[in-house]
Amino acid sequence: MPVSIENILLKEDFSHADLVLLLNAQGQDKTKLYTRSAEVKKQFVGNKVYFRGLVELSNICSKNCLYCGIRAGNTKPDRYMVTEEEVLEAAQFALENGYGSMVLQSGERCDGQFVDTVSNLLQKIKELSGGKLGITLSLGEQTEKTYREWYANGAHRYLIRIETSDRELYYKIHPNNKKHDFDIRINALTLLRDIGYNVGSGVMIGLPFQTIEHLANDLLFLKQLDVDMVGMGPFIEHEDTPLYEFKDLLWPKKERFDVSLKMVALLRIMMKDINIAATTAMQAIDKQGREKALKVGANIIMPNLTPVKYREDYLLYEDKPCLDEDASECRNCLEARIHMAGDEIGFNEWGDSKHFTKRTISTKE
């Protein structure tokens, strides 16, 4: 007898075979998946969407990831570092507009000057906001000392995307050397957890050489890792990268988007109370991509607060949206999108992962 989608969706735990079947769902089966994920979202995290005001701090990167437009080996971008004054202006905008949190994202650097700059910014953002703004960092692999220093200075969430949980595939999209070490990246997530951060990760969907079976394993990996937040979305190629050579192996963009939505929906069902971002890459393929992600399970949106003059040089992938929108335009656009999705904005709230809060309480007990 064929397996019933309804019965699979009511399981407490999905097997790898279940996930492969669900990731291949079409038609009415896909609708049933999205209906179930929307129910889980409503029950466990509600219909509040939390803003994370994003500052793309710098496109200077020490790494050479084969898919990334700001990789060290790409000589085309003008390299920049947002000034302290500009970061604090963004923080002031976030505070005045009811954003509960900010995200500082950057190319990966671990030199002393960069570490000190980030520590200084954390202190000043906390001082400017009277401690009201939560701060997420997405600044790559660092030493334990640096993670602890940034945590002590006010950062409390940290995102390191693994991009794929498959070791063999990892080294098809990264150089195989000490600077791009799979185990170091995985171990960083455990270290961040031990320090006390809300820990986030994520994967790219539709990479060359990637299969549905890989993605099913990615979902199981994220659950096993017990992450608090996830940002994932479709892989979008960039012509100034080595991986562009394999563009003919890519799924059509519509398929990458479709599978990305299913990944969001499935992770919401599997990890009911984590935070899941509706990523910009979703909107790069589908104009309503972020609304669609919200409808099937996402609950985080990241309005871009980076000064417009820098945005053309922070192109991790092609066709990135919102390059010419200033912070006010971006806010208005995203507010409209959130309401169109039937959600409301959690103004002036950190919106920490309920999963993190629950685990923290149980650990203390």
- Condensed to tens digits (0 to 9), the pLDDT of residues 168-219 reads 999 999 999 999 999 999 999 999 999 999 999 999 999 999 999 999 999 9
Tokens of 178: 């000490």
Nearest C-alpha neighbor of 108 from the set 49, 66, 160, 153? 160
The predicted structure's pLDDT at residue 112: 97
Q: Is the pLDDT of residue 157 over 70?
A: yes
Average pLDDT, integer, range 263-271? 98
User: What is residue 79's DSSP assignment?
Assistant: P
Higher pLDDT, 264 or 333: 264
Distance separating alpha carbons of residues 322 and 329, to the nearest angstrom: 9
List, in sequence order, the alpha helices (H) in 130-196. 144-152, 167-173, 182-195
The predicted structure's pLDDT at residue 324: 73
Q: Which range among 12-21, 61-70, 333-342 shows the weakest confidence by mean pLDDT?
A: 333-342
Nearest C-alpha neighbor of 303 from the set 99, 3, 129? 99
Q: What is the pTM of this model?
A: 0.96
Per-residue pLDDT band at 322 (split at 50, 70, 90):
confident
Query: What is the share, in percent, of the chain residues with pLDDT greater than 70?
Result: 98
Average pLDDT, integer, range 105-114? 97
Per-residue pLDDT band at 364 (split at 50, 70, 90):
low
Helix (H, G, I), strand (E, B) or coil at 341: coil
Tokens of 266: 């499935």
Mean pLDDT in the chain?
94
Helix (H, G, I), strand (E, B) or coil at 155: coil
Which element (helix H / strand E) includes 233?
strand 233-234
Distance separating alpha carbons of residues 94 and 7, to the nearest angstrom: 44
What does the angle CA 225 – CA 280 – CA 41 come to, to the nearest 5 degrees?
Answer: 55
**Cα-based distances in Å from 105 to 1, 87, 118:** 50, 12, 11
Average pLDDT, integer, range 326-334? 79
- Residue 128 identity: L
Work out the burial of residue 212: count CB atoms within 10 Å of its CB; fewer than 13 is exposed, 13-18 middle, 19 or more buried: middle
Per-residue pLDDT band at 341 (split at 50, 70, 90):
confident
Q: Is the pLDDT of residue 2 over 70?
A: no
Distance separating alpha carbons of residues 103 and 305, to the nearest angstrom: 9
The predicted structure's pLDDT at residue 323: 73
Task: Give the start-end residues of each E strand in the chain.
Answer: 48-58, 101-106, 134-138, 157-159, 198-201, 204-205, 229-230, 233-234, 275-276, 300-301, 344-345
What does the angle CA 232 – CA 238 – CA 242 come to, to the nearest 5 degrees?
Answer: 105
The predicted structure's pLDDT at residue 316: 83
Tokens of 313: 């040089």
Q: Is the pLDDT of residue 365 over 60?
A: no
With contact defined as beta carbons under 8 Å apart, do 234 and 208 qualify? no
Q: Which residues pair with 135 in a beta bridge?
A: 102
Which domains are delineated in the chain?
Answer: 12-364 (3.20.20.70)
Distance separating alpha carbons of residues 16 and 209, to the nearest angstrom: 19
The predicted structure's pLDDT at residue 52: 96
Q: Is the pLDDT of residue 111 over 90?
A: yes
Q: Is the pLDDT of residue 1 over 60?
A: no
Provide the sign of the torsion angle of the four alpha carbons 337, 343, 349, 354, taken in this order: negative
